[in-house]
Amino acid sequence: MTPEFVLGIAQQTLKITLLVSAPMLIAGLVAGVLVSIFQAVTQIQEMTLTFVPKILAVITAVLFFAPWMLRLMMDFTTKIFTQIPLYVR
């Protein structure tokens, strides 16, 4: 196993991790910005108001993107497992 090979696997792993986590992070970010704008316009500074929309946005993103995320992770895992004989050499 060469250092380039290990770096390639690490890069693929980081790429998959970012792709899988991106929908939830973006949904939480958008919900947070919208709630912040709403709070600034109405001058309501309630701290608990920010959590519920963010949680709902993240749960919605998980439900909507779950098949895609699962397929992406399964493809990557299958690829890693099928290449185990190449790793052992």
pLDDT tens digits, residue range 47-72? 888 899 999 999 999 999 999 999 99
The answer to whether residue 16 is domain-embedded is no
pLDDT for the residue numbered 5: 84
Spatial distance between the Cα atoms of 63 and 2, rounded to a whole number of angstroms: 39
Asked whether residue 20 is assigned to any structural domain, the reply reads no
Query: Residue 65 in contact with residue 23, Cβ under 8 Å?
Result: yes
The predicted-structure confidence for 74-89, as pLDDT tens digits, reads as follows: 999 999 999 888 877 6
5-21 pLDDT, tens digit each? 889 999 999 999 999 99
Total-model pTM = 0.81
Task: Say if 3 falls within a structural domain.
Answer: no
Q: How high is the pLDDT of residue 6? A: 86
Number of helices and strands in the chain (H, E): 3, 0
Residue span of the structural domain in which 54 resides: 46-89
DSSP letters for 1-30: --HHHHHHHHHHHHHHHHHHHHHHHHHHHH
